[in-house]
Structure 1
Amino acid sequence: MNAAQMVLQSLAQHGVDTVFGYPGGCIMPLYDALVDDDRICHVLCRHEQACALAADGYARASGRVGVCIATSGPGATNLITGVANAHRDSVPMVVITGQTPAALMGTDAFQEVDVLGMTLDIVKHSYLVTDANTLASTLDDAFELAASGRAGPVWLDIPKDVQLAEVDPGHALPSITTRSAEPAVAPPAQIDKALALLRAAEKPLLYSGGGVSRANAEAEFRAFAATAGLPHVNTLNGIGNPGRDAPDHLGMLGLHGSQAANRAVHDCDLLLVVGARLDDRATGRLDGFAPGARLVHIDIDTAEFNKLRRSDAVVRGDLNTILAGLTQALDAQPLAIDAWRGQCRQWRTRHGFATPLPGDAISGPAFVRTLSDRAPAGTTVACDVGQHQMWVAQYFDFEAPRCHLSSGGLGTMGYGLPAAIGAQFAHPQRPVVNVAGDGSFQMNLQELATLGRYRLPVRIVVLDNACLGMVRQQQELFYANRESQIDLDDNPDFVALGRAFGIAAESICHGRDMGPAIDRLFAHRGPCLLHVAVARADNVWPTVRAGSANIDMIDAATVAGRENTMSISPAQA
């Protein structure tokens, strides 16, 4: 066989059933090999960025490694944003690109770029494969690296002539890889110290992130949370960790977190961080973040320890093993924190995200809450980036973290539709919804063609306020309401646009129409689009002024009472 055929054989051996790609000159041998190989479903997206974002959504929804393929030059550079997105949120991905034939590399040949040099900051590892006989073992390394430890993307750049070279699969040479072995079990002394600090605390708080789902540790996490009885907050990527209706869950913390969550973080005396990296959007001003608390940090990645906040104890290792050990210890000797739990439950009742009342006009929060209430069990929601993303984080009740797909670390507009496509291929029988804003949706709307081509039953909701809502909100609150380049009043007719791609579509603009329209959305058997006209003035509440502590949250009432104090300079923002 040739090396391109070996790539497909290796993918199949690693359990890959779906790849997302776009052909071109220097990846042509691989696409030629696909003609004779029916083991892998190749999904033709309509832009290489969407290929990477779809692979990301597939990986998040399934827990498996996502795979995307593109050609050299612009094909590879178009992948970069999607790969960076996966890297920032620790999503396992293998990226395969063609490259100029080896003899032409370094000559500024047609569609040649230095992929390895351009992508150093956004991958766990990258390879330029110059010997076809190392390709099989290099792919083995790539899949292991992508999924092990702190997951992330691994990039293989393969020159065209290498893909065409004949190989003997029985005599493949080993590749050279520097592996960082991750400990399966944390040192007992680390766990003992964490337990001692936890038992000494009077107001301990559990803070979880995306690392829980990346480690496939949802079950162990919930067992630990139930046994420990700790009040609990989560990051954007940790949404769904506790499941629905966990009695001690206070919601998301941070910039647009609940007041209950941010109050608990401010008042706690110990913060137990599980699979989270203390991102700036979660912490706000660091010296105002859990100012009186000791910090216990549990993670797989040593680089996150003491990066932003000094830890009093660190526990490094596999979350499943660590959480199981902590659960066993606390089951034998429960924590005595009833007064603290009672206080946090009061905050949740008084300062959580209250269900908004529907009115004649449609508000974003009211629509998302109605969507949550009427969505079938197990619905996966893939968000774009903006106000709608935060409303979903605040008002949609998720059963599991893999049901919530959102671009956290990079904040990639246009993420939602390709991610929803990936999630639908990962779980063909599950309801998948892309909740988008009118601005984000237009970043990758060409993927409507992908929906039409494969008749994927993805439901699209476009919340249309005819502007870049989150930018408008920032300009209103922190730039003296000086609006600049945010109007989208020339939006296309989204219903006509959907129908042009063969997708059923309708539009609503009255609150009374929300429930029936959502029911029709889920009843439809193929791809469909619901355009929702929402109020331009809707803001995401609460929010936190840049440079402030999370305890100094701003809400609508605050703004109404302090209009003359809300403006700050662009430099401060």
Structure 2
Amino acid sequence: MVLTGAQVIMECLLEQGVDTVFGYPGGAVLNIYDALYEYRDRINHIRTAHEQGAAHAADGYARSSGKTGVCIATSGPGATNLVTGIATAYMDSVPVVAITGNVNLDLLGLDSFQEVDITGITMPITKHNFLVKDVRKLADTIRAAFRIANSGRKGPVLVDIPKDLTAQKVEFLPPAPPEQEKHHLFPFEQRFEQALQMLEKAERPFVYAGGGVIASGASEALKTFAERLDAPVACSLMCQGGFDQTDSRYMGMLGMHGTNTAALAIKNCDLFVAVGTRFSDRVLCNAKSFAQHCPIIQIDIDSAEFNKNIDVDLKLKGDAREILEELNRRLPQHTHADWMANIAAWKADYPLSQTASDPNGVTPQEVLETLSDLTNDDAIICTDVGQHQMWAAQFYRFRHPRQFISSGGLGTMGFGLGAALGAQVANPDARVINIAGDGSFHMNCNELATAVAYNIPVMELVFNNSVLGMVRQWQKLFYDNRFSQTDLDKNTDFVKLAEAFGAKAFVIQTKADIRPVLEQAFALREPVLIDCRIDKDVNVLPMVPAGASVESPILEM
């Protein structure tokens, strides 16, 4: 059948199982939006308040569902407004397809109105990007974008389409039969045998899981592996929920804000097994002192991650789930009773805990643990970036994959509310809560308007301490209390702001408010904001100072 380029885009989205796109209209995508109107009964479109919000919403949709998220923006500033969201997805290996319009073909490269070289701009932050110059190649390009985004190490792909191509007509052909899918490269047999020998020899093994566990659907295989090896497990920020946190083997996070139990375990282990993690600097802290006393096995799908940040002794390249399942088939049951007893003792000796200077004051721990209770540990928790992000990872009990949606690699303030919108759209029956700080909330509060316009029932929980808490914490520790530009000095009334957008709002001011306010908010199935007042001197602990060993965290300030 003969279709316009814009209609071809719609048909390709339907081929890929896309039910929702996030975006913002503009001149260069008028034909695409006209086609969206035509296809509105099959493709839902959410118009965000800002293109960055659309990118974050597509990201949250993808992280929470495992499907590829889609966002659309016009040329020039519309396209550049996507850049931070694309970079966020790239750093955390999230499958997103961003579709941008551009000026007509004959105007490219002439500094035309609202023209930017968006493929050049996004080259370092996409798995691949395309500038389509022939409408006959449009369908196959869209198909390739989805294939690339959601294969191997996942990530964002951008497709830039000049406006005149979206109006041109072309014969639309169904996709060719898919080629036989190539199996992931699997480690040589010799490497499996070496891994099994190292696992057999270990008396104090440590299993560390990263975001690749969730991306590959390896959570069950990880649980079996830990049980078979009889080993404790720590998770990266991106793997929260990848291992059941109520499991006695779970030690918490490892790294700059990891638990002391995990720090003591890495100090005393005799084998470190890393699954689906890139060994970021926030985990290693000081790479020269990280696990120098024991061998390291690394399982990863991306060979570029081997020996990039730290040298490892054995590399197992491939899909994390497939490799763990193969190891599980071959691994006999191990028992390390003394080692596991040590782990249990450290957990008892060094629990995560917070106290308020005012006995009636609110601590994030009490709020988040109450949230866990009220939601049966089953909510999808999104976060912005800062102290509140770490508190959410520390104190909410994540039991399932894709429960925790946060910007780990790029650390994008303003990420959370857009991501929460996407997660809620992808999971309409779930309870979705965005945990924010007041600094982050000021960066994306406009997306409350989107939540209200589409009646997307997210909860925005703002830990309001009137400071940029994480930066201020560093200033307190390392800059002799010179709080340069971290006291926000804003007089924003969050309740009035939320009500101005059309959302309900509540305030938590004392410990006694926590449960009744949360219960009242949960009784509403509509957008709601909670202004949760906390002391500006509540810190994120433990904390490993920059350059220090991960084995020596600060436990109190």
**TM bracket (short chain):** over 0.9
Q: 71, 75, 89: which one pairs with 1:72?
A: 75
> Does the alignment pair 1:143 with 2:146?
yes
Which residue of the partner structure matches residue 335 of structure 2? 336
CA contact 2:505–2:530 (8 Å) conserved in 1: yes
Which residue of the partner structure matches residue 27 of structure 2? 25
2: CA distance between counterparts of 1:102 and 1:27?
14
2: CA distance between counterparts of 1:428 and 1:308?
40
CA contact 1:182–1:300 (8 Å) conserved in 2: no
Shift of 1:34: 1.0
> Does the alignment pair 1:94 with 2:103?
no
Which residue of the partner structure matches residue 426 of structure 2? 426
Shift of 1:173: 10
Q: 146, 152, 156: which one pairs with 2:155?
A: 152
CA contact 2:225–2:324 (8 Å) conserved in 1: yes
Q: Which structure 2 residues correspond to residues 320-335 of structure 1 after superposition, within 5 A?
A: 320-330=321-331, 333-335=332-334
2: CA distance between counterparts of 1:186 and 1:221?
18
Which stretch shifts more, 296-305 or 522-531?
522-531
1: CA distance between counterparts of 2:328 and 2:491?
53
1: CA distance between counterparts of 2:461 and 2:174?
52
1: CA distance between counterparts of 2:245 and 2:235?
13
Q: Aligned partner of 2:256: which letter?
A: L
Q: Aligned partner of 2:83: which letter?
A: I
CA contact 2:246–2:399 (8 Å) conserved in 1: no
Partner-residue secondary structure (3-state), 1:10: helix
Which residue of the partner structure matches residue 546 of structure 1? 546
Q: Aligned partner of 1:441: which letter?
A: F
Deviations 1:385-438 (A, max 9, x none): 111111111111012130101110000001110010000000000000011100
Which stretch shifts more, 150-159 or 31-40?
31-40
State the 4+ residue runs in structure 1 displaced beyond 6 angstroms: 171-174
2: CA distance between counterparts of 1:137 and 1:10?
9
Q: Which structure 2 residues correspond to residues 30-69 of structure 1 after superposition, within 5 A?
A: 30-37=32-39, 38-69=41-72
Q: Aligned partner of 1:32: which letter?
A: D
Q: 5, 8, 27: which one pairs with 2:7?
A: 5
Q: Which structure 2 residues correspond to residues 180-191 of structure 1 after superposition, within 5 A?
A: 183=184, 185-191=186-192
Q: Which structure 2 residues correspond to residues 435-450 of structure 1 after superposition, within 5 A?
A: 435-450=435-450
Q: Aligned partner of 2:327: which letter?
A: L
Which residue of the partner structure matches residue 219 of structure 1? 220
Which residue of the partner structure matches residue 302 of structure 1? 303
Which residue of the partner structure matches residue 563 of structure 1? none
Which stretch shifts more, 308-317 or 250-259?
308-317
Q: Aligned partner of 1:77: which letter?
A: T
Change (3 A) 1:237 1:171: closer
Q: Which structure 2 residues correspond to residues 514-553 of structure 1 after superposition, within 5 A?
A: 514-553=514-553
What is the aligned-residue identity percentage?
44
CA contact 1:124–1:146 (8 Å) conserved in 2: yes
Q: 66, 86, 92: which one pairs with 1:83?
A: 86
Deviations 1:31-59 (A, max 9, x none): 01111112110010010001000000000
Shift of 1:355: 7.0
Deviations 1:274-313 (A, max 9, x none): 0001010011101221121101000100000111111111
CA contact 1:96–1:157 (8 Å) conserved in 2: yes
CA contact 2:104–2:164 (8 Å) conserved in 1: yes
> Does the alignment pair 1:111 with 2:110?
no
CA RMSD of aligned residues (A): 1.9
Q: Aligned partner of 1:125: which letter?
A: H
CA contact 1:376–1:431 (8 Å) conserved in 2: no
Uncovered stretches (5+) of structure 2, i.e. residues with no partner: none
Which residue of the partner structure matches residue 126 of structure 1? 129
CA contact 1:300–1:318 (8 Å) conserved in 2: yes
Shift of 1:188: 2.5
Q: Aligned partner of 2:8: which letter?
A: M
Partner-residue secondary structure (3-state), 2:217: coil
2: CA distance between counterparts of 1:173 and 1:232?
44
Q: Aligned partner of 2:297: which letter?
A: V
1: CA distance between counterparts of 2:553 and 2:183?
39
> Does the alignment pair 1:269 with 2:266?
no
Shift of 1:202: 1.7
2: CA distance between counterparts of 1:340 and 1:407?
34
TM-score of the pair, normalised by structure 2: 0.96
Shift of 1:181: 6.3
CA contact 2:353–2:365 (8 Å) conserved in 1: no
Change (3 A) 1:541 1:355: closer
Deviations 1:229-258 (A, max 9, x none): 211111000111111311111000111110
2: CA distance between counterparts of 1:523 and 1:228?
44
Shift of 1:147: 0.5
Partner-residue secondary structure (3-state), 1:138: helix
2: CA distance between counterparts of 1:417 and 1:513?
24
Shift of 1:182: 6.5
CA contact 2:365–2:395 (8 Å) conserved in 1: yes
Partner-residue secondary structure (3-state), 1:402: coil
CA contact 1:129–1:158 (8 Å) conserved in 2: yes
CA contact 1:203–1:337 (8 Å) conserved in 2: yes
CA contact 2:244–2:250 (8 Å) conserved in 1: no
2: CA distance between counterparts of 1:181 and 1:315?
18
Shift of 1:440: 0.2
Q: Aligned partner of 1:497: which letter?
A: L
Shift of 1:223: 2.3
2: CA distance between counterparts of 1:4 and 1:220?
43
> Does the alignment pair 1:234 with 2:243?
no
Partner-residue secondary structure (3-state), 2:428: coil
Deviations 1:513-571 (A, max 9, x none): 11111111212121111111100111111111111111221122xx4xxxxxxxxxxxx
CA contact 1:149–1:182 (8 Å) conserved in 2: no
Which residue of the partner structure matches residue 347 of structure 2? 348
Change (3 A) 1:507 1:202: same
Change (3 A) 1:172 1:219: closer
Q: Aligned partner of 1:14: which letter?
A: Q
> Does the alignment pair 1:167 with 2:170?
yes
Deviations 1:363-382 (A, max 9, x none): 22232222222224420010
Q: Aligned partner of 1:51: which letter?
A: A
Shift of 1:354: 3.8
Which stretch shifts more, 404-413 or 336-345?
336-345
CA contact 1:494–1:531 (8 Å) conserved in 2: yes
